[in-house]
């Protein structure tokens, strides 16, 4: 029943964050550095997941141009920089990955 614990735990923290101020209905002013700092959270956490996922795709560090996860990851980042569209990035990145992995047998 690990999933039940996981989902209830995620619910508890998410709902608490969203509800606590509504519940007490008090006026709160956050220091500006806090709101600025929170703006960094999503990209930072996502990057901390991406980097090991593409550099250590199969349990071992794989720093090589033969690593399709790394190559397709760099390519996706390039597409995202140019096109700034999530769906285009996903489709282009997946095509690149499949081509490298299954087409060219990297």
Partner 1 sequence: MCAEKIVAQKSQRALRLAEFLAGAKATLPLIVGAIPFGIIFGTLAEPSGLSALGALAMSLIVFAGSSQFIALGLLAAGAAIPVIIATTFVVNLRHLLYSANLVPKVRHLPQRWRIPLAFGLTDETFAAVSGRYMGSDDLTHAHWFYLGSMLAMYGNWVLCTALGVGLGELFPDMTEWGLDFAMSVTFIGMVVPYLRNTPMWAAVIVAGAMAMATVGLPHKLGLMVAAVCGISTGLSLLLLQQRKVAAQEVTP
Residues forming the site for partner 1 (CB under 8 A): 2-3, 5-15, 17-23, 25-30, 33-57, 68-69, 72-73, 76-77, 80-81, 84, 86-87, 89-90, 93-94, 97-98, 101-102
> What whole-number distance in Å separates Cα of residue 42 and Cα of residue 40?
6
**CB of 84 vs partner 1, minimal distance in Å:** 6
How many H-runs (helices) and E-runs (strands) does the chain carry? 5, 0
> What whole-number distance in Å separates Cα of residue 54 and Cα of residue 68?
8
**CB of 66 vs partner 1, minimal distance in Å:** 15
Contact yes or no for 88/79 (Cβ under 8 A):
yes
Of the pair 66, 102, the CB lying nearest partner 1 is at: 102
**CB of 71 vs partner 1, minimal distance in Å:** 11
Closest by alpha carbon to 46, among 68, 76, 16, 66?
76
Of the pair 46, 104, the CB lying nearest partner 1 is at: 46
């Amino acid at each position: 029943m690990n999933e039940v614990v996981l989902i209830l735990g995620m619910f508890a923290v998410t709902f608490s964050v969203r509800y606590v101020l509504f519940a007490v209905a008090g006026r709160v002013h956050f220091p500006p550095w806090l709101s600025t700092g929170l703006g960094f959270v999503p990209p930072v956490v996502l990057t901390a997941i991406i980097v090991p996922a593409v550099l250590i795709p199969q349990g071992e560090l794989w720093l090589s141009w033969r690593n399709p996860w790394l190559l397709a990851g760099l390519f996706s980042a390039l597409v995202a920089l140019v096109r700034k569209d999530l769906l285009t990035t996903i489709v282009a990145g997946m095509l690149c990955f499949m081509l490298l992995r299954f087409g060219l047998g990297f």
